[in-house]
Structure 1
């Protein structure tokens, strides 16, 4: 019998859920029932996972500890995914998957004064051990040994084979969802070391059933993904195949080998992982992992049998195959040899080995430093070229878009009609004493469109090159900036110009297909772009210099001024995007901020 004196209330609205006295049937704070279906007693909260709270419970029937997941999110989609997880786990029987009994999924219903509360509950086997994320960052912060990773990869592929044969895709493989089950803590098993741990795949909240045939014709998937691990088709919410699990597993193993998050290993221009130089890895294993993380699903291994066959070949090619007790045999040989050596010979033998190891380590360190320096120089040069190229194309695009907007507003019947309609509406809104030319919004929208196309065409900063989304946000952002410009009076003090830049640039940046940290990019780029103009006004630049900008465009002189202004804004936007992408975001990742 488990010895405890405290119970935890699972009511998410309870003000004092813990501690409750052992033996109580109802919570002393909220009155909710404590025991679940007269069998499970919640003891303590372990944490949160997605939309659920996780507890340790005592199973009074089997006299064992188990894990309880309680769904606290009341949305229909959350309930659907939770029921799906329960259905998947209850039908699986594999040592690498937490066991759920047929009655492990149930609803806890509580009727109280405010109404009825229904909490979906899922009880599953409790896995004792550490996640691979904990093993990596606590024991091997510089990267795990290759033989360990190869062993984990083999076990994970075997688990996926069991899932995929039953038409189940996990969709959320990462180090924190892979646990090492500690089979025993006895001294004998501790001597066995790595063999005493078995890999278990957990958190099936995102698991998905797929049809055995015609996978491509399946409907689009729920947009559920983990940054850095999920494949592109899953991130975009498209249909996923079993190869999506291979992609996530490959990136997980690369993180375990290198000790670095996959996002930190991505090339900012192509999104590819440059990881081989970060660890010592067998070439065939590296080739296999690179195939597993291909962006195109068709380029990845087709099924688990292919990966298992490749792993068997890698195992045979290693000097010491995985699964043999090589360490013990080498230690025995070393002991027998040393017993035959005299103390003096043993001393010089050890000294020679230490010198050899020191020389090898020194040469390797020098080589790594040289590679790091040249790699850093190459990255700086590439970043500069990337930024300069984007600045050129963006300025050209902004200038061309401004001219296109001017022609559309003044030389097309549709543009004139839009201008007249906006002029009349805005005159009523802003007051009859203000002159408003509604067709100017088309000029601003054209500038936003051209700026967006210039940035996306350049293709820098690791974009996904979403022309349509960037174009729409560019048009909307600059159009909204023009509207703000009309609202701020007097215009001649320059505040309208700063507000225009902040609104237009932030919205435009959010529409770009940047891979992560979208809010950071938007804030840095918007305030960075507004900074030089705000500085010019602060140091005493006469606001009247901007009068041509605030006035409606009636001649070529005013048009050229606005073309130059928007072209300059495009250059500054590109510069600050480069600063954000190459300096600010890497600095945040170094501090541990994942987006």
Structure 2
């Protein structure tokens, strides 16, 4: 099927080999080469179509720029400048390659690589929210792409789930729709770049004044992560009183986020640019830092003393109750009755404790011993021999 690119056409579907639209007479082939097959996306300033390059017999995507060149010559010049820049970006494997840009029938067009797959908005609608591991996977895959475009002096300005696609062939994330049409339209019609981006994803400096920086894209990426984790649009989660996005309270039940990732997301979506990450590489560095294990404090091992004094008969006749109410009388009496044998056992316990503390025991041997139990027994032993029985 061929699809007519005339936005006012009453019946845009046409037979596959048609050269002109049967309903409105519009020429269906662009540059006598590119044939639109079906609509794929509709934006405020552009429309995207899945298409076929009949010369190469290869799928492609056509982007129609809705502002007519006749409306302002400046739009055409800006369009050409932006298109040349996008040719350079298309050298990255996770950015669609640009094939052509031209004017036909008083319209401007871009032709680029067709990405076969779903965007993240479609994924979340079909599959539900993402887990922490999936968010980490996406960040590790996409942050180098952002670092690349920022080094080229380009800011995407419209990062959101709909503009991130997962390529079906290899599972890689691809960044699409660099908003050329939005920037040109805003510049030509409004005299400045303003309200470029999507509410909820774009930061305040971008929406209010049109100013955008590399970490404006990072803010949008953070807001995208929050949408994928909670299933809710970031605009719904915004608290105007606190001036922040309350995302933790809106996580699905049983969804747990590590303190490390939570801290990264919080820094990505800081309202002031100075408080955010300044580059995509900084985010990657924090993301790749190993989790800091909690510091384990080992209890002090009381060294063995050969001069342990054992209880007298008068002491043996008394009950020995611990502070927690445990009757330790039997243990005390057994130790007292087996003096020499138990001294050797005590030495062995202390040796094992030292080895465990210094990390000398291998995994197989360490499973045979409970550090806490051995330590408790050693403490009891010493207490019965040195303190209680010396009284």
Does TM-score exceed 0.5, indicating one fold?
yes
Unpaired segments ≥5 residues, structure 2: 184-190, 294-391
Determine the structure 2 residue equivalent to 1:35: 29
Residue of structure 2 equivalent to 1:25: 19
For residue 317 of structure 1, what is the aligned residue in structure 2? 291
How many angstroms apart in 1 are the aligned matches of 2:283 and 2:292?
17
1:199 aligns with 2:199: no
What is the aligned partner in structure 1 of residue 207 from structure 2?
235
CA deviation map 1:102-137 (0-9, x unaligned): xx101113xxxxxxxx11111111111111112122
Shift of the 135–13 alpha-carbon distance from structure 1 to 2, 3 Å rule, reads closer
Q: Structure 2 vs 1, CA of residues 299 and 206 (structure 1 numbering), >3 Å: closer, same or farther? A: farther
Which structure would you say has the larger RCO, counting Cα contacts within 8 Å and 6 or more residues apart? 2
The residue correspondences of 1:201-350 to structure 2 (distance < 5 A) are: 201-206=175-180, 221-277=193-249, 278=251, 279-313=255-289, 316-317=290-291
Q: CA deviation at 1:305?
A: 1.7
- The equivalent of 1:51 in structure 2 is 45
Secondary structure at the residue paired with 1:123? Answer: strand
What is residue 341 of structure 2 aligned with on the other side? none
Aligned length, in residue pairs? 278
Cα contact 1:178–1:202 (8 A) shared by 2: yes
Higher helix share: 1
Q: 1:349-368 to 2 correspondence within 5 Å? A: none
Q: 1:169–1:208: 8 Å Cα contact kept in structure 2? A: no
RMSD: 2.4
Can you list the C-alpha shifts for 1:216-267, whole angstroms capped at 9, x where unaligned?
Answer: xxx9633312111111111112422111001111111111112222122222
Cα deviations by residue, 1:473-527 (Å, 9 ceiling, x for unpaired)? xxxxxxxxxxxxxxxxxxxxxxxxxxxxxxxxxxxxxxxxxxxxxxxxxxxxxxx
Bigger CA radius of gyration? 2
Relative to the length of structure 2, the TM-score reads 0.66
- Cα shift readout 1:394-450 (whole Å, capped 9, x = no counterpart): xxxxxxxxxxxxxxxxxxxxxxxxxxxxxxxxxxxxxxxxxxxxxxxxxxxxxxxxx
Q: 1:9 aligns with which of 4, 22, 35?
A: 4
- 1:83 is displaced (CA, Å) by 4.5
CA shift digits 1:358-414 (9 cap, x unpaired): xxxxxxxxxxxxxxxxxxxxxxxxxxxxxxxxxxxxxxxxxxxxxxxxxxxxxxxxx
In structure 1, runs of 5+ residues without a counterpart are: 1-5, 110-117, 184-195, 210-218, 320-595
1:338-487 to 2 correspondence within 5 Å?
none
TM-score (normalizing by structure 1): 0.44
Quote the Cα distance in structure 1 between the aligned partners of 2:132 and 2:246: 18
Partner residue, 2:119: 131
Report how far residue 63 of structure 1 moved: 0.9
Contact 2:144–2:281 (8 Å) recurs in 1: no
- Give the CA deviation at 1:28: 2.8
